[in-house]
Chains A and B, each alone.
Chain A
């Protein structure tokens, strides 16, 4: 009986294998002519599932607003990379080989983007990372571009801002094992030391673990050293916990973070304790830098329909990544990978949601402006625009 059942299951699996193969071939064969395919790989489950989902929201909204290029409809092929490098390489190969996309957007989290880099370069498919800030993503890769600024820049911006506020000492909290957090934290440390000219100006460097919730011990140590600022680049999942626990412990230092903090989850979870935190980000919802930004803010807020009170910064970047690619395809006038890449390189003063965008040699968005924001009355509020040369 059991043997028969297991045999039955085996046959079922084989059948599904055959049908699925047939199915995927069908869809790729018929739709070749009348649509332009753009692939998206984002972590929709796993450790970075939250951020990936928010970024995807921006990309899909952009697709709704600008559904066409070169007179053809743009079709998005979205795949989940599970926040896992192995999975990321597989889905990107799938996008390239099976879905036959002409360009790719992704991914939230630098590690998965780096893993996909070689495949993208070999296949010559221009790819736009929306929010992967690690320098290694685009390094030595002609076909990888990004719409956001880099960790070194952001670290410097925050160090500058801290010093402008009269800070003499700083403590840094990083997530052990998270490349974004460790990268940004280290750049901040270097910039801060250089700007103060004092190696002892960083009074404490603490690391916390994956999925950690308890920061009391770290924060108690920091409290004893009483730094002027605490810089804690971290994901939106942990940021509110750090902020809340710091305030509960009576830490009065200025708490600062990176772009990931501009996330409704931070205010939602940290509540009143989020008041007064400072973060650097890409754009200001209330004072749109460009016409595009104004339209995006109005339109996307309506789209979200109150499900998220504030537009996550990664959604804005996802949107930008999409319109940058679309613009390049339009200008290239073809779907050839090399042509699109060259068009991307020639991007000049492109009006994105997150500012005016040009690309550097490495393919990074050449942004020298960051927006500094704080939280007031449960809202992200613009304080300053910082320019770094």
Chain B
């Protein structure tokens, strides 16, 4: 293995990992507060990619305006999802809420197939993001190059919101103890909506960066990234934002490294994520950075 090859694969891994990380933050925040695997998160991400395609190709918006429009639309969709599919089940058994999440995900992908058909669409070419630059002997697109930085900046922003603002404090309180937080007069619904706003906005940004790198948009594009990013969140310690980002990077990197070092096993790529998940759940269910949660009896 040449060092040049390795460096290129390293870059591939970091860039894929940072995309996973962006989505994983959304999962981890929702789980932290609602104790719910938001199965529909991957589909929100898929819808955001379609929104972007439509706003640029159909409505001919300039890309910088389109990005804002897409983030707003995606956030609206995320909040709507929470209001319709999750809020009515707040006091229902966990299993019902999860089935509702699976149902929502199922509905979104069927709706997308119905509305946009299975014929793949090209993601609009945003020149600023897709130009290729050469760093030494490694070639990278601008999107690849800036994704890790965007991820880190957004992580910092999310950490700032959760740690330094009032709503963030409320979020932490709700995540620690739902019932007590309610008794203390925290507006639970507002906290949860905020969580979905942040998560969906990150999914939208993730979708734009993803689309610039992998510009084929189709109804089922969100399924696997969705599952993998949830796994990244579990790996990092569910509920922990920094953990989710680290988990995303590790997952992206291990997929790429499997192909780099064991090229005969490329057929098992998707299994890696699930194997990591199961190992983490068995060895350290709290993940890398997760706190020990004691079950209340």
Q: Do chains A and B touch in the complex (CB under 8 A)?
A: yes
Q: Which listed residue, A53, A208, A240, touches B117 by the CB 8 Å rule?
A: A53
Does B16 contact A248, Cβ atoms closer than 8 Å? no
- The residue among B16, B110, B259 with the most chain A CB atoms within 10 A of its own CB is B259
The residues of A that contact B132 with a CB separation of less than 8 Å are 248
Q: Which listed residue, B125, B219, B259, touches A221 by the CB 8 Å rule?
A: B259
> Does residue A74 face the partner (Cβ distance < 8 Å to B)?
no
Does A217 contact B216, Cβ atoms closer than 8 Å? no
Q: Which listed residue, B5, B221, B270, touches A220 by the CB 8 Å rule?
A: B5
Q: What distance in Å separates the Cβ of B2 from its nearest Cβ neighbour in chain A?
A: 7
| A:203-236 near B, CB below 8 Å | 204, 206-214, 216-218, 220-221, 223-224, 236
Q: What distance in Å separates the Cβ of A337 from its nearest Cβ neighbour in chain B?
A: 32
- Bound together, the chains give a CA A223 to CA B256 distance in angstroms of 15
> Does residue B119 face the partner (Cβ distance < 8 Å to A)?
yes
Does A213 contact B214, Cβ atoms closer than 8 Å? yes
The residues of A that contact B93 with a CB separation of less than 8 Å are none
Known: A48-B118, A212-B269, A221-B260. A271 touches B220 (CB 8 A): no
User: How many A-B contacts if CB must be within 8 Å?
Assistant: 124
The residues of A that contact B120 with a CB separation of less than 8 Å are 50, 236-237, 240, 265, 269
> Does residue B266 face the partner (Cβ distance < 8 Å to A)?
yes
Does A176 contact B263, Cβ atoms closer than 8 Å? no
The residues of B that contact A207 with a CB separation of less than 8 Å are 266-267
The residues of B that contact A237 with a CB separation of less than 8 Å are 120, 216, 218
Q: What distance in Å separates the Cβ of A303 from its nearest Cβ neighbour in chain B?
A: 16
| A:248-295 near B, CB below 8 Å | 248-250, 265, 268-269, 271
- Bound together, the chains give a CA A241 to CA B121 distance in angstroms of 12
The residues of A that contact B2 with a CB separation of less than 8 Å are 224
The residues of B that contact A45 with a CB separation of less than 8 Å are 110, 113-114, 118
Does B122 contact A269, Cβ atoms closer than 8 Å? yes
Q: What distance in Å separates the Cβ of B105 from its nearest Cβ neighbour in chain A?
A: 14
| B:4-43 near A, CB below 8 Å | 5, 8-9, 12-13, 15-16
- Bound together, the chains give a CA A333 to CA B62 distance in angstroms of 60
> Does residue B223 face the partner (Cβ distance < 8 Å to A)?
yes
Does B122 contact A240, Cβ atoms closer than 8 Å? yes
> Does residue A52 face the partner (Cβ distance < 8 Å to B)?
yes
> Does residue B255 face the partner (Cβ distance < 8 Å to A)?
yes
- Bound together, the chains give a CA A252 to CA B15 distance in angstroms of 22
Does B119 contact A53, Cβ atoms closer than 8 Å? yes
Does A217 contact B260, Cβ atoms closer than 8 Å? yes
> Does residue A110 face the partner (Cβ distance < 8 Å to B)?
no
> Does residue B215 face the partner (Cβ distance < 8 Å to A)?
yes
Known: A207-B266, A211-B221, A218-B266. A49 touches B214 (CB 8 A): no
The residues of B that contact A53 with a CB separation of less than 8 Å are 117-119
- The residue among B5, B121, B216, B270 with the most chain A CB atoms within 10 A of its own CB is B216
> Does residue B139 face the partner (Cβ distance < 8 Å to A)?
yes
> Does residue A238 face the partner (Cβ distance < 8 Å to B)?
yes
> Does residue A244 face the partner (Cβ distance < 8 Å to B)?
yes
- 6 A–B pairs (Cβ distance < 8 Å), ordered by A: A48-B118, A204-B263, A210-B224, A213-B225, A248-B139, A265-B120
Beyond A216-B16, A249-B8, A269-B215: 17 further Cβ-contacts under 8 Å?
A47-B118, A48-B118, A50-B117, A51-B118, A207-B266, A209-B267, A211-B220, A213-B214, A216-B15, A218-B266, A220-B12, A224-B2, A240-B215, A244-B215, A245-B214, A248-B132, A248-B141
- Which A residues have a C-beta under 8 Å from some C-beta of B? 43-54, 176, 204, 206-214, 216-218, 220-221, 223-224, 236-238, 240-241, 244-245, 248-250, 265, 268-269, 271
The 9 closest A-B pairs by CB, nearest first: A49-B118, A213-B214, A50-B119, A269-B122, A217-B259, A50-B118, A216-B12, A207-B267, A176-B267
